Structures are given as structure tokens and as C-alpha cells.
Amino acid sequence: MVTLQLKDLGARYGSTLTVEGVSTPVFSGGELTAVIGPNAAGKSTLFKRIAGLLKGPGEVVLEGNKASPRDAIRYMPQDTHANAVLTVYESVLLAAKQGEGWRVKDTELIEIDQILKALQIDGLAFRNLGELSGGQRQLVSIAQALVRRPEVLMMDEPTSALDLYRQVEVLNFMRDLARRQGTLVLIALHDLNHALRFCRNTMVISGGRLMAAGPSQDVITASMLRDIYRVEARVEACSRGENHVIIDRSAA
């Protein structure tokens, strides 16, 4: 099963180091790991650095089955609007075929059919990308990320434009997929209750630094919410015994 560890990792835009000194325990595949933090904390930058899209100091230690980190790691950016004259189906095929020849095999199309169906967007398959809503575009982005069967998948706020039903469906789907395929899924989230419910581990990023990493129940605490998010909040178990974040007010 794939494992990932970050050792003193930093990322720079030009000459500016925007993320630095990120060292984590070893994360294993098969589970979701939440990456949380305030806006502009450096979550997306960290993802891009892990995916090799940005340069910087430190090391990404990856042990898995695929030959190179480039093949093993897939980054799904935040929602990006595209007005290309491409259908949803073509855009997913496009993600699958990068670096390959023109010929499209039946097995590749079957895989796309399965992914679209699993994400319940098979009905959109032949709609143009420009006609999609923000939520639909996010689901297409997830399909594009999944089609390469990555060992490590980093999803940047994949549920931000989805309604509640879709949020729960997508996160359930990702958790099942991770367990079934042994994929290590890092998800940047703003909804901390989703992090508590769906993600075994959580990393907290603030000001370009890793503030905490570990089991979600241990990391998402009232003191962390006060220090990092500047809110007074309680983390309490509900009637089913699951922890939930209850916000009282912003901290003074």
C-alpha cells in the first residue's frame, strides 16, 4: 500500500517561500486525510508542491507501486471554469490520455463510463463544459482526477460548490474508493465536521506552516479552533457518539 511522508517541505513562488518546514508522520493509503486551515494558509500551495508543480526545499517520500511520483500523484485543483468546446466525456478522456497515442481503447472508455456513473454525472456526459454549473464542474474534475488511477490523490476543496447531498455522496464515494483501491486521498476542506466524519487524519496548515497533524479527533479541538481559526467553539459528541464542531462566536 502507498505511503507518503513530507520531510521539511517548502514551496516557493518565484523567490518567495510561501510554505516552509512541513514535516509529517507517514500517511498510508486506504484512508482520507483532511488538510484544513484558514484562507490563504498555503493548502493549495502545499498540494502543488507535493504534485511537483512548484519547486522548493525538502523532500516528498513516496513508496508505492507506480514508477514515478509523476504517475502516482494526481492533483485536482480548485474549481476552474473552462469554456472549451469539449464535452464532459472528452474532458475526462483527455485526462486519461495525456502522454499517450491518438488511439482510444474500449477499456479506457469503459473506465470513463464507470467513473461518470459512479459520480452520477453520466447524464451530463455529452454536455459541453461551458454549460455546467460550478457543482457539476467539480464532479467532472473529480472524474478527471480519478481516471488516471492515482495512488495519491490531492483534492483542493472538492465539495465547495456542491449541495449537502452531493457533498456527503462525494465524500462517501472517496472514502470507499480509498479503502477499496488503497489510495491515499488528501482533501482540503473548510467544513471541519466533514473532516471529523470522513477523514481519519487531519493536517492543519496556517501561515504556510504545519501546525498539527494526526488523528482528526485529536487535532480538531476547541483550542486549535481558537488559535488557528479565531473562533470560540466546542467539539462535542452527538447522540451517535461522533464529534461535531459547534461554533459559538468569533474570538475576541
Partner 1 sequence: MAVSDLIPAEEGRGLYRALAFRRILVICGLIVALAFSFSLDLALGPARYPLSEVLAALIDPSGADLQTRVVLWDIRMPVALMAISVGACLSLAGAQMQTILANPLASPFTLGISAAASFGAALGLVAGVAIFPAAVHYMVPLNAFLMAMAASLFIYLMSTVRGVTVQTIVLLGIALVFTFNALLSLLEYLASEQALAAVVFWTMGSLTKATWGKVMATFAILIVCIPFFARHSWALTALRLGDVKAASFGVNIKSLRLKTLLGVSLLAAIPVSFVGTIGFVGLVGPHIARMLVGEDQRFFLPAAILCGALMLSATSVVSKILLPGAILPIGVITALVGVPFFFVLIFADRRQSW
Q: Give one DSSP letter per residue of 90-159, joined into a string.
A: HHHHHHHHTTS-S---HHHHHHHHHHHHHTT-GGGTTSBGGG--HHHHHHHHHHHHHTT--SEEEEESTT
What do you get for the CA distance between the two ends of the chain, in Å? 45
The residue (of 93 and 213) whose beta carbon lies closer to partner 1 is 93
Name the CA radius of gyration of the chain, rounded: 18
d(CA 52, CA 38): 23
Select the residue interacting with partner 1 from 63, 131, 218, 236 (CB under 8 A).
Answer: 131
**Shortest distance, CB of residue 191 to partner 1, whole angstroms?**
19
8 Å CB contact between 95 and 148: yes
Region binding partner 1 by CB under 8 A among candidate stretches 16-24, 28-36, 124-132, 216-224: 124-132
Nearest-approach distance from CB 81 to partner 1, in angstroms: 8
Q: Candidates 3, 17, 38, 113: give the one binding partner 1 (CB under 8 A).
A: 113
Among 17, 61, 125, 211, binds partner 1 (CB under 8 A): 125
Residues between 58 and 77 with contacts to partner 1, criterion CB under 8 A: 70, 74-77
Q: Specify the residue, 169 or 227, whose C-beta has the smaller distance to partner 1.
A: 169
Indicate the residue among 70 and 230 with the shorter CB distance to partner 1: 70
* Burial per residue of 72-81, b for 16 or more beta-carbon CB atoms within 10 angstroms, e otherwise: bbbbbbbbee
Nearest-angstrom CA–CA distance, 239 and 226: 25
What residues from 140 to 179 belong to the interface with partner 1 (CB under 8 A)? Answer: 141, 144-145, 169, 172-173, 176-177
Q: 33: which strand partners?
A: 186, 201
Query: Please, which residues have CB within 8 angstroms of residue 245's CB and are 6 or more apart in sequence?
Result: 192, 193, 196, 220, 225, 233, 234, 235
Nearer to partner 1, 20 or 156 (CB): 156
* Nearest to partner 1 of 21, 77 (CB atom): 77
Integer angstrom CA distances of residue 196 from 89, 151, 242, 243: 34, 23, 8, 7
From the CB of 36, what's the least distance to partner 1, in Å? 21
Backbone angles phi, psi at 188, to 5 degrees: -80, 125
Using rule CB under 8 A, residue 40 touches partner 1: no
Shortest Å distance, C-beta 153 to partner 1: 11
User: Where do contacts with partner 1 occur on this chain (CB under 8 A)?
Assistant: 14, 51, 53, 70, 74-77, 80-87, 89-91, 93-95, 97-100, 102, 104, 106, 109-110, 112-114, 116-118, 120, 122, 125-126, 128-131, 141, 144-145, 169, 172-173, 176-177, 180-181
